[in-house]
């Protein structure tokens, strides 16, 4: 059974515009032999009708044409760096190369990256959604055109496909329970955009731990960074609001790599004693947390393993002629790394 409509070809464009196939081919390749007016006609029509250039000839000539597009938040992020290493360990072995793009937490940039990758005729996509992404219509369109997608870390249920995530609920639950066991009861949570799957899941783990221990949830202790901590200002605003509270928190659990490192830096700048005045636990895959003083308690995600699993699942989708009868959501375990930033309160 045919699952998707066939992409349009150069011949289809030529017939529609009453041009020769050769002219259309040269126009999409930006040949100097074709006028700018004709190039614009051809490329406008091609974009409107979701034309994907056939790069098979180049692939065969260069023996390296099998490609996978990757959309990540930002490369200067320890989590995503480890994810990319995991992906590359699989793609290299399977003779695929990856094209990496960064959304930098911008949905506009995410859409442009997606357009670029599909124009390059990638065989499939590995996607972690930006913190600004509310509608995923741009991904739905690409998926409907027949390009397989696997979502990792920041995922959506609106497209039926594989997902690979860490145990976000369990990770934040462990971190919050650890703080409670060390006598902290006014625990704040600084997290990412409300739109992200990781935000709701990590908030669920935080709330679950408080509820189990009979600690009321104070909504004023929950702060959202709509750009995922990309800008230090949004983290500092959240911390300032918490520190100005009449009954301010005695601990913070942060929900992403950037927010964790940013929050620690801001608290040090404000000369907040950690953990004497404020304990901190946060998600981070930073390779050397011991360089911080005090050493930082972290929830470590299996980023490398997430990258490997996502790449493996995508390559199966690419190489199998039939869609699987059931898609997987792989949830990989997190690990709480206990250090001095969350040590137990001293008894008075």
CATH topology of domain 1-51: 434 Repressor (Amino-terminal Domain) (1.10.260)
Using 50, 70 and 90 to split pLDDT, how confident is the model at 307? very high
CA pair distance 173, 205, nearest whole angstrom = 4
> Quick one: what percent of the chain has pLDDT higher than 70?
91
pTM above 0.75, yes or no: yes
Q: What is the pLDDT of residues 174-192, one digit of tens each?
A: 999 999 999 999 999 999 9
For residue 23, what pLDDT is reported?
87
CA pair distance 138, 143, nearest whole angstrom = 9
User: 107-119 and 137-144 are packed helices; what angle lies between their axes, rounded to 10 degrees?
Assistant: 10
For residue 60, what pLDDT is reported?
41
CA pair distance 225, 232, nearest whole angstrom = 10
225 and 192 in contact (C-beta within 8 Å)?
yes
Q: Given this structure, which CATH class describes domain 168-301+335-342?
A: alpha beta
Q: How remote is the C-alpha of 55 from its chain's centroid?
A: 28
**Looking at the predicted structure, is the pLDDT value of residue 335 above 90?**
yes
Where in the chain are the domains? 1-51, 55-166+305-332, 168-301+335-342
Q: What is the pLDDT of residues 25-62, one digit of tens each?
A: 778 777 667 888 998 898 888 888 877 665 444 444 34
Q: What is the pLDDT of residues 266-298, one digit of tens each?
A: 999 999 999 999 999 999 887 766 677 889 999
Query: Which tokens belong to 344?
Result: 């137990």
307 and 143 in contact (C-beta within 8 Å)?
no
CA pair distance 41, 105, nearest whole angstrom = 33
Order the strands of the 149-152 sheet from edge to edge: 97-102, 67-72, 124-127, 149-152, 163-166, 329-332
Mean pLDDT of all residues belonging to the chain: 89
For residue 48, what pLDDT is reported?
84
Q: What is the pLDDT of residues 60-98, one digit of tens each?
A: 434 445 899 999 988 877 889 999 999 999 999 999 999
Range list of H helices, 162-256: 168-181, 197-212, 232-243
Q: What is the pLDDT of residues 95-125, one digit of tens each?
A: 999 999 999 999 999 999 999 898 877 889 9
Query: What value does the mean pLDDT take over residues 213-222?
Result: 97
Indicate the CATH number for domain 55-166+305-332: 3.40.50.2300
**Do the domains at 1-51 and 55-166+305-332 have one common CATH topology?**
no
For residue 263, what pLDDT is reported?
93
For residue 230, what pLDDT is reported?
82
For residue 253, what pLDDT is reported?
98
Using 50, 70 and 90 to split pLDDT, how confident is the model at 347? low
CA pair distance 337, 297, nearest whole angstrom = 6
Rg (CA), the chain: 24
187 and 221 in contact (C-beta within 8 Å)?
yes
Query: What value does the mean pLDDT take over residues 4-27?
Result: 80
CA pair distance 324, 95, nearest whole angstrom = 23
For residue 234, what pLDDT is reported?
94
For residue 149, what pLDDT is reported?
96
For residue 289, what pLDDT is reported?
62
3-state secondary structure of 141: helix
């Amino acid at each position: 059974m045919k699952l998707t409509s066939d992409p349009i070809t150069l011949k289809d464009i030529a017939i529609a515009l009453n041009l020769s196939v050769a002219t259309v081919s040269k126009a999409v390749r930006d040949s100097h032999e074709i006028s700018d007016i004709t190039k614009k006609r051809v490329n406008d029509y091609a974009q409107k009708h979701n034309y994907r250039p056939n790069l098979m000839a180049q692939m065969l000539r260069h023996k390296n044409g099998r490609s996978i597009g990757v959309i990540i938040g930002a490369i200067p992020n320890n989590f995503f760096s480890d994810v990319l290493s995991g992906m590359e360990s699989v793609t290299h072995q399977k003779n695929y190369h990856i094209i990496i793009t960064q959304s930098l937490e911008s949905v506009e940039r995410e859409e442009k990256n997606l357009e670029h990758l599909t124009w390059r005729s990638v065989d499939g996509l590995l996607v972690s959604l930006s913190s600004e992404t509310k509608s995923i219509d741009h991904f739905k369109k690409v998926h409907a055109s027949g390009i397989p997608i696997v979502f990792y870390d920041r995922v959506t249920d609106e497209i039926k496909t594989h997902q690979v995530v860490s145990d976000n609920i369990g990770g934040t639950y462990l971190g919050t329970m650890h703080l409670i066991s060390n006598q902290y009861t006014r625990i704040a949570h600084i997290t990412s955009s409300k739109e992200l799957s990781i935000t709701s899941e990590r908030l669920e783990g935080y709330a679950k731990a408080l509820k189990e221990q009979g600690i009321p949830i104070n909504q004023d202790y929950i702060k959202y960074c709509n750009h995922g901590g990309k800008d230090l200002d949004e983290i500092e605003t959240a911390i300032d609001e918490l520190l100005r509270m009449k009954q301010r928190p005695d601990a913070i659990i942060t929900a992403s790599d950037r927010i964790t490192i940013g929050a620690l830096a801001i608290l040090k700048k404000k000369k907040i004693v950690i953990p004497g005045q404020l304990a901190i636990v946060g998600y981070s895959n930073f390779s050397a947390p011991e360089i911080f003083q005090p050493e930082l308690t972290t929830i470590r995600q299996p980023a490398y393993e997430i990258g490997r699993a996502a790449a493996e699942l995508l390559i199966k989708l690419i190489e199998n002629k039939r869609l699987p009868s059931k898609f997987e959501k792989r949830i990989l375990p997190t690990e709480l790394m206990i250090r001095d930033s969350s040590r137990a309160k001293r008894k008075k």
